[in-house]
């Protein structure tokens, strides 16, 4: 199996640090891995967590719920019909105060602007994380929300692998070891070693995610590296 499982990661953390389960208990390692996962998630915009959801707006309702598990919204499209997503337009993002001024007049029509209300939504659709719309929809337009979802976290037995553990196992291990030596309060040189290893690996991983995966040879051309020529 490619990558690394949660069980193997836990074993490797104890082996690399030469610290037993009496100190690095399962609960401690679970927290270390969780911290590492969130650090990687916030250090690198990962394509695997980019999602698109489609639904219908409700006529005369000034908001639309964001999808379950959404962390943040990258864009909103609104179209006339669902059959072929006919005549879609991208809404322009504004601050919620901007939309409040428009919506106080209760103007209706096809939405042109949106603003975010609330934060991450957890595991169910909820108005605590909502897209406010202006003008207020006067029909059941279809909309698409482009968003990033919270990653599935590694857990013993129930979720042994995820995208990071399968596709960035060395970076995950180095990040966990840096977290572990911070928890153990030393040795400092080992903490610095694995912190440096993690930073080197995460740069290459980021280059893949926001570089190679988002480039196209036809539209962007082939990357050419400059070659230093000897002085004349």
Residue-level pLDDT at 26: 95
Query: Tens digits of per-residue pLDDT, 28-77?
Result: 999 999 999 999 999 998 999 999 999 999 999 989 999 888 888 999 99
Query: Tens digits of per-residue pLDDT, 167-193?
Result: 999 999 999 999 999 999 989 999 999
Please choose, from the candidates 175, 128, 120, 179, the residue with its C-alpha nearest in 3D space to the C-alpha of residue 148: 120
> How far apart are alpha carbons 226 and 229 in whole angstroms?
9
Tell whether omega for the bond before 135 is within 30 degrees of 0, i.e. cis.
yes
Strand order through the sheet with 126-134: 63-66, 126-134, 113-117, 92-93
Q: What's the average model confidence in pLDDT over 189-199?
A: 95
Beta strands in 161-227 (DSSP E): none
Residue-level pLDDT at 82: 64
- Residue 16 pLDDT exceeds 60: yes
CA–CA distances in Å: residue 146 to residues 66, 68, 164, 198: 10, 13, 21, 30
CA–CA distances in Å: residue 183 to residues 20, 26, 78, 118, 180: 14, 14, 48, 33, 5
pTM above 0.85, yes or no: no
Q: What's the average model confidence in pLDDT over 156-172?
A: 91
Query: Tens digits of per-residue pLDDT, 131-153?
Result: 999 999 999 999 999 999 888 89
Instruction: Name the residue ranges covered by the structural domains of the chain.
Output: 6-46+152-214, 49-149
Please choose, from the candidates 50, 44, 49, 74, the residue with its C-alpha nearest in 3D space to the C-alpha of residue 207: 44
């Amino acid at each position: 199996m490619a990558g690394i499982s949660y069980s193997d990661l836990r074993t490797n953390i104890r082996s690399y640090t030469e610290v037993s389960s009496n100190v690095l208990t399962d609960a401690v390692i679970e927290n270390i891995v969780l911290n590492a996962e969130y650090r990687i998630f916030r250090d690198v915009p990962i394509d695997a967590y980019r999602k698109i959801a489609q639904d219908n707006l409700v006529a005369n309702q000034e908001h639309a719920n964001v999808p379950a598990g959404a962390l943040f919204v990258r864009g909103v499209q609104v179209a006339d019909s669902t059959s072929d997503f006919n005549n879609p337009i991208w809404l322009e993002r504004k601050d919620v105060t901007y939309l409040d001024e428009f919506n106080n007049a209760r103007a209706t029509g096809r939405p042109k602007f949106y603003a975010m209300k609330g934060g991450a939504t957890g595991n169910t659709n909820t108005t605590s994380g909502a897209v406010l719309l202006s003008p207020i929809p006067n029909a059941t337009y279809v909309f698409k929300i482009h968003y990033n979802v919270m990653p599935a976290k590694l857990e013993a037995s129930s979720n042994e692998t995820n995208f990071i553990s399968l596709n960035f196992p060395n970076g995950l291990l180095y990040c966990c070891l840096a977290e572990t030596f911070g928890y153990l309060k030393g040795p400092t040189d080992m903490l610095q070693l694995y912190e440096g290893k993690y930073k080197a690996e995460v740069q290459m991983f980021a280059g893949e995610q926001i570089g190679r995966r988002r480039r196209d040879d036809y539209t962007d051309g082939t990357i050419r590296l400059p070659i230093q020529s000897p002085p004349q």
